[in-house]
Amino acid sequence: MSDARTMAAAAAANGVDTIAFTEHAQHLSEVRDTIAYLVSRWTLEGQPLARQAYLDAISDARGVAPIEVRVGLELDARPLHDDYERALEQVVDPSAPAWDVIVGSVHVLSDDSGIEETRIVDEPTGVWRDYAELQVAAAASGRYDVLAHPVRLGFSVPGQPPNLSKMLDEITRAAVRHGVAVEVNGNDMSVRPDLVAALIASIAREGAWASLGSDAHVPATAGAALRAVPFLRRHGLDCAAIFRRRGLELVPLPSRAD
């Protein structure tokens, strides 16, 4: 994890007034000691951290800049694997008072292929269908506050499937039904702004909550999601979802991003 103090200062400088650190759970030592799949499936960024060391690092970042600092985790959502999800939940204990927000991320398809892995797809519609169905299942699981980067598959699958709007509506409709916010991701804005625009249109159509996530792995990109604010306003959206102790708060979109 990048230095939390540096990240908080960079976020404030970039116009952010509330930041939630949501490290990938596989970077926690307790998770790595328990769930072998996450250790073998993903390459670690930096050194693993014990859960308390992670919480202490975030706590140390408070007061560095005049912004609200909150703490959460990003969990790999694998809704077809109940044993895995129960084991992860048991280790992380999402109901613990330490967490402000739990983010669920579908990073692999049903065949365990990564959504960002290089691929040549002759029939992208089927791949997108699989991805969308997994996200709908993740939203319905009751485990997450935010559904992360719902159009990230576009990093490895070029173009758009002909029924993209319908599939995105299924995702955002499920999010509304189960009280889950939908992330508008700053990294996705940089790589596939066309898909992010389609996602925002779906959020507006279905009345979903939009959560701004910069997906910042380095301080320079802290606040990258603010670039999506004009798109959100264009579709009549004027607030974003943030979380405290797993409870939803709706706050006005930041004016500095316009």
Separation of alpha carbons 155 and 119, rounded Å? 10
SS3 180: coil
**In 3D, which of 160, 156, 164 has the Cα closest to residue 205?**
164
Residue 87 CA to residue 18 CA, distance in Å, equals: 31
Kindly tell me the number of DSSP H helices and DSSP E strands found in the chain. 10, 8
How is residue 255 annotated by DSSP?
G
| Architecture of the 72-257 domain | Alpha-Beta Barrel (3.20)
**CA pair distance 186, 36, nearest whole angstrom:** 30
Q: What is the pLDDT of residue 90?
A: 92
Instruction: Please state whether the predicted TM-score (pTM) of the whole model is above 0.85.
Output: yes
The series of mean pLDDT values per 10 residues for the chain, 258 residues long, is 89 94 95 94 91 95 93 95 93 91 96 82 85 97 96 93 96 98 96 97 98 93 94 97 97 77
Tokens of 113: 């292929």
Residue 117: per-residue pLDDT? 83
What are the backbone dihedrals phi and psi of residue 227, each rounded to the nearest 5 degrees, phi first?
-65, -15
Interstrand relation of 247-252 and 239-244 (parallel, antiparallel or unpaired): antiparallel
Between CA 113 and CA 86 the distance in angstroms is: 21
94 close to 74: Cβ distance less than 8 angstroms: no
Q: What is the per-residue pLDDT for 124?
A: 85
pLDDT for 254: 85
